[in-house]
Structure 1
């Protein structure tokens, strides 16, 4: 009926385009027909094919006069529509023509006139998708004040909800009326607590980003109904590895254990086993838990807390490879030569019984020949030493391939029993951590290559070429530092390896690592396998963390179908589903990273509150027109605002430096400076320094 209604509107005179007139023209004389007409009109309006004006008349939208795009609202009230079609010029929207649109809303716009030099002006007809639907902030005297408060907008709690809250509570509210004024009416959704409550900032991040931090009763009931013992009937369908020497290596406090490892020698070759929790055996396709995991996409780690992708009955229970209990796994067993070449492999369903829950700390001690720890774990010490050998071989092979190892410095918080931060230090990444990393990388690569060669639909972890302009700027910067000999700005992995080696051990190492990372494209999930630039792998996927990442769970599901069950059938629906999962999980991964970074910044600010007015030595990590950021050895970063300098400063955008107008003193990225901590904002996660 949609097509018939659309054509009738298109051909009818203006006076015949009301709901009643259209019903008459279409000879509708029943309630059912009237409902169908209403649905058709709603659907066509939703698709932006027709528009209902203020007098109730429906009009066909002519594509040449109407476009869609995001609204870039400027401080003074006017804005521009950034049109979907990148070749189309932006459209200027006067302050009086923005309708109810707010910044970054997706809008339908009518082009009203063409100005000089091809510039366009328009008016917003309709907001198609709101950028902001909810607001999280402190309640005070009828208003809600978000963390990054914008004085141009007033968020007012509706009258009937005000008696439910008190001043200085943190609340979440839904915008119920946008209106054309700067006042937006909001309805109460949730009271998060008092602004002075411990860890309230984490609750603020969770609420603002709409993270799913609680499981529904249906999800919990489903998880609790799963037997916490392995199904004896399914053991016969698996290779039994319970008598093999298999163990896990994780952090001291890890509860969701995805992976276990084993090693043997076969003549001069290594037989490496990577055994991954068979989560897909328990989380069936289209089940309650499958939909739950799809929506979350990943576990989110917020300082000393975690929002798991799956309920603890699975993540810490039957799926976790806990020591001395039987667990179902998927195994990737590889025969690797002394040159690091995988000459044979097999991927199969298995059952294991992990002998130990080893920690990175103890494995590092064994690798360093600590007598006491080596004696305590005498039965696996030789296996660990063998793993150390293989780790070095695999690492060397990756380097020769062009794989880029960014030595990123990550913070590590030490918490008291009450959750207070006792210490902030740099997370050490020693041989045990690198050992597990190398083993997971080679298993992921083998699994991806196996399915790629089958030419079947699959999810890959891809990483595209870096930003050429940013890379060129880094090379120019190294010229200024005197480290450019033999360098060019080509985007080969070997060139980037050379850059990292040039600055290794210098003041500029941390900064150049960071800038190179920023020049990189973001790794993502995709069906189209274009390879992984950073690792220099032609084929790569995520197979090794199905408890905490949904793509890994899907990889397991398709291994079961393609490899274990030898079912190679697929259709367009399979492809569409994998494409959707790739996009969804890439999105949830980005959101999780943003939340984790925000909470990390807040915790750093909380830790630094005790050091107000103390002096520190740090490195200039970035320079902006409004000042420069200084990073301390413990990874804390703070701003030295341009207004706090002793003289007026000029920003040199080409060379990314600040220059004193009077003294001509230059402040460059990578330089060591002394600063004083003058201000901390815990909720914003911001730290202010002044230069000494």
Structure 2
């Protein structure tokens, strides 16, 4: 019986990738008995020569993929198609390129997923295989941010997440050259040591965690924000050209001014107004809202588009911004700078004297803003103190405020949720150190722009519905009953009430907010109401906007920093037939997936921004350890109570272990902690005095020590001895704080 040549065996394996065991090969060549020993020797030689790879009981050509393989995502191409790659390629040739063919019901694929895929070889395409998902089998190594501490054999990774006390062991060969105390990024979940501690491997050194600029850097890496643009996307942005009039509507004579924060990094909206001269609309107004035409530069399925969709939105930190678009667009061609021609999509809206919208008309235009103003100088001009910058535009500003007066009346009738929470502003020095923390003033100039943008967003949604064009809605569903019950408990504990048994509308919540508005509990009730709300999100289905009391609402006004607005712009382009840069077939097919992806990106950015502010506040307060400050109980958990400090708005934790030796019973419904010996009750809304005990800038953690409640000093008690009476003072109801009226 002759043994086949090596070439014949290799050809068989190539032609029959599903029949690669030694038994299959022997059967194919009719090899039996003792001849199997010679076949085993031949296969061993092919393995040693690198022609074959032995996997369990089969042999495979290392340059060919088996029909069922473990793959990983390898990116999306210009057409929006997802490609896969082998999870562990060992071949000598080029890595196979696999086109993923999804089917209905397949899950969304994440960048770290590992997939079991059935493959089909193809020829004459830009890919070697097509793959269909069998199942998702897990993810790659998870990454985390921490501080590296050198040990005898490698070291430890200390977490930067608040409330996480886990450590990871770093092997001597896995330190990546990191120095003691450095901030690092590491892959975790790489097995455990003999002592049961998890292992990690350092993959990136990020520098000194105490450096001022490291604060936002931690959040960027911790939450997986994309802070570097691919070269292809940058090249597309830098190749963009200034707009020309062409078929656009000429809006260059309109006094479209921008009104933004004084430190605004981009200007994506401009507006103007004038009295309506139509006799049928006495006292009415004509409003124009012009928005940067980002769709003219970010074309569907381009590198810029893929990157913008991946980012979902811009993320703003006190010291930097992680933009959705490269600066060549966000800071230049798509920013409505003063005195330069810019492409825009504008809407002309007519309202009546009561602020009700009568009509709308959209235009793809070319504009030139005569002024870039900021909120404070606009408000000062209206209040009688114009400057050289604002004086020439007083006519436009007065017309804007007149239109805003009408819109305010319409808003009052609509009765949206009237939450007006103070916003913190963290000021930094040039070196990145926190110099001050203050609450921003809320001016009519802010509210004016807000009302104009809401009106434009409503107009966009209604226009697209009228033209039967798909879009992404901004959805805000009504709060769930369990959260409303929790809000009712908080209201009751604070001396207020929220009716039950009625259809929940924003007006009912406004009754609670207005009742608390003139008391010291105003911020607590506002924060509790906010916590009761559902998270707003994007969807291709119109489910209404509860908070704004609107039937249909879409985001149209910020395409520089929100991908949802770019989709709405493309929908308007398609609906009006303005060009070939509207909604692509891929956009339409993946509208649901896009909505989910950008909603998740938005939540990721919000958490990153909040964590960064917490770290800056902890750094600001680190020099004030030991100081006594006042605040209000803003949250109660079994492990302690949270205090919102008056001067900075920072949240500090009172650990229950710091309250003394007695046991504190947690009432989840009433949101209280009650001492079983002393009867002391800690509840939402109470005014407290605390001492700053710990501030950890790396994690953003802030720990405080409770000194007094409602003006009375805290009297800690020792554990009650057996068979003796209670010690401490008599139980009092400290939960119901007196209402103070101004």
Aligned length: 596
Matched, 1:528 2:541: yes
CA contact (8 A) 1:487 1:498 kept: no
2:695 aligns with 680
Greater Cα offset, 391-400 or 335-344: 391-400
**1:38–1:313 distance in 2 versus 1, CA, 3 Å:** closer
Question: Is 1:42–2:42 an aligned residue pair?
Answer: no
1:248 counterpart residue number: 258
Between structures 1 and 2, the one with greater helix share: 1
Flag the 1:302–1:485 CA change in 2: closer, same or farther, 3 A: closer
- CA shift at 1:256, angstroms? 1.0
Match status 1:129 vs 2:138: yes
Residues 1:298 and 2:298 are matched in the alignment: no
1:226 equivalent to 2:236? Answer no
Once the 2 structures are TM-superposed, how far is the Cα of residue 386 of structure 1 from its aligned partner? 2.4
Question: Hey, what does 1:482 align to over in structure 2?
Answer: 495
Preserved CA contact (<8 Å) 1:507 1:671: no
Query: Which residue of the other structure, out of 246, 255, 268, is the alignment partner of 1:236?
Result: 246
State the Cα distance separating 1:186 from its structure 2 match. Answer: 4.3
Cα separation, 1, equivalents of 2:249 and 2:263: 30
Contact 2:298 2:305 in 1 (8 A): yes
Mark the CA change 1:246 to 1:507 in structure 2 (over 3 Å): closer, same or farther: same
Measure, in 2, the Cα distance between the counterparts of 1:454 and 1:321.
28
Cross-structure match for 1:198:
212
1:306 Cα deviation from its structure 2 partner:
0.7
Q: Following the alignment from structure 2 to structure 1, what is the Cα–Cα distance between the partners of residues 581 and 183?
A: 53
Flag the structure with larger Rg. 2
Corresponding residue SS for 2:68: helix
Provide, for residues 315-341 of structure 1, a one-character-per-residue CA deviation record: whole Å limited to 9, x for no partner.
Answer: 111110010111010001100111111
Structure 2 residue corresponding to 1:281, chosen from 284, 290, 296: 296
Q: Deviations over 1:5-34 (max 9, x none)?
A: xxxxxxxxxxxx995279569979999x97
Q: Secondary structure at the match of 1:538?
A: coil
Rounded Cα–Cα distance in structure 2 between residues aligned with 1:442 and 1:632: 36
Distance 2:300 2:136 in 1: 36
Give structure 1 stretches of 5+ with no counterpart: 1-16, 47-83, 85-103, 109-125
TM-score normalised by length of structure 2: 0.74
Match of 2:438 in 1: 425
8 Å CA contact 2:489–2:669 kept in 1: the answer is no
- Pair 1:22–1:484, CA change in 2 (3 A): farther
Shift of 1:38: 5.3
1:41 is displaced (CA, Å) by 2.6
The whole-number CA distance in structure 1 between the counterparts of 2:217 and 2:419 is 32
| Aligned counterparts, 1:636-675, within 5 A | 636-646=650-660, 647-675=662-690
Q: Is 2:586 the partner of 1:577?
A: no
Match of 1:115 in 2: none
Q: Is the 8 A contact 2:141 2:187 kept in 1?
A: no
Q: Against the structure 1 CA distance between its residues 566 and 191, is the aligned structure 2 distance closer, same or farther, given a 3 Å change threshold? A: closer
Per the TM alignment, residue 222 of structure 1 is displaced from its structure 2 partner at its CA by 2.1
Mapping 1:294-373, distance limit 5 Å: 294-370=309-385, 372-373=386-387
Distance 1:397 1:529 in 2: 22
Inter-CA distance 515–131: structure 2 relative to 1 (3 Å threshold): farther
Which residue of the partner structure matches residue 615 of structure 1?
A: 628
Distance 1:41 1:644 in 2: 58
**Residue 165 in structure 1 maps to residue 175 in structure 2:** no
SS in 1 for 2:212: coil
User: Is 2:553 the counterpart of 1:552?
Assistant: no
Q: Provide the rounded CA distance (Å) in 2 between the counterparts of 1:556 and 1:397.
A: 26
Contact 2:318 / 2:427 at 8 angstroms: preserved in 1?
no
Give the structure 2 partner of residue 6 of structure 1: none
The corresponding residue for 1:57 is: none
Find the residue that maps to 1:236 and give its secondary structure: coil
Aligned mates of 1:237, 1:423 — CA distance in 2:
50
1:470 aligns with 2:483: yes
Given the alignment of the two structures, is residue 606 of structure 1 paired with residue 619 of structure 2, yes or no? yes
User: Is 1:632 matched up with 2:625?
Assistant: no
Residue in structure 1 matched with residue 468 of structure 2 by the alignment: 455
CA distance in 2, matches of 1:45, 1:331: 43
Q: d(CA) in 1 for partners of 2:453 and 2:585?
A: 31
1:567: how far off? 8.7
Q: Which residue of 2 aligns with 1:70?
A: none
Q: 1:216 aligns with which of 206, 222, 230?
A: 230
Aligned residues: CA RMSD: 3.3
1:274/1:22 Cα in 2 relative to 1: closer, same or farther (>3 Å)? farther
Taking structure 1 as the reference length, the TM-score comes to 0.79
**2:21 maps to what in 1?**
20
How far did residue 611 of structure 1 move?
1.7
Distance in 1, matches of 2:454 and 2:680, equals: 47
Secondary structure of residue in 2 paired with 1:42: strand
1:140 is aligned to 149
Secondary structure of the residue that 2:246 maps to in structure 1?
Answer: helix
Q: Distance in 1 between matches of 2:400 and 2:136?
A: 58
CA offsets 1:143-162 (integer angstroms, 9 cap, x no match):
33222496666342461x54
Q: Answer yes or no: is 1:589 the counterpart of 2:602.
A: yes
> Deviation at 1:440?
0.4
Change (3 A) 1:187 1:668: closer
Cross-structure match for 1:518: 531
Where do 1:72-91 residues align within 5 Å?
none
* CA shift for structure 1 position 376: 5.0
